[in-house]
Amino acid sequence: MIKQVLKMSSILSLVVALAVTAVSANPTNTLKANIPFDFSVGGKTLPAGVYTVTPMSMPNTLRIRRDDNREGVLIQTDGSQTRRDEDRTKLVFRRYGDQHFLAQVWTADDGTMCELRKSRAERELMKSRAKFLAKSVAEPEVVSILVQ
Element (H, E) at 86: none
User: What's the pLDDT at 133?
Assistant: 62
Question: What Rg, from alpha-carbon coordinates, does the chain have?
Answer: 20
Residues 84-129 pLDDT 10s: 666 788 999 999 888 999 999 988 877 788 899 899 999 888 888 7
Q: What is the pTM of this model?
A: 0.72
User: What's the pLDDT at 20?
Assistant: 43
Residue 26 has pLDDT above 50, yes or no: no
Per-domain residue ranges of the chain: 27-146
User: What's the pLDDT at 7?
Assistant: 61
Amino acid type, 108: A
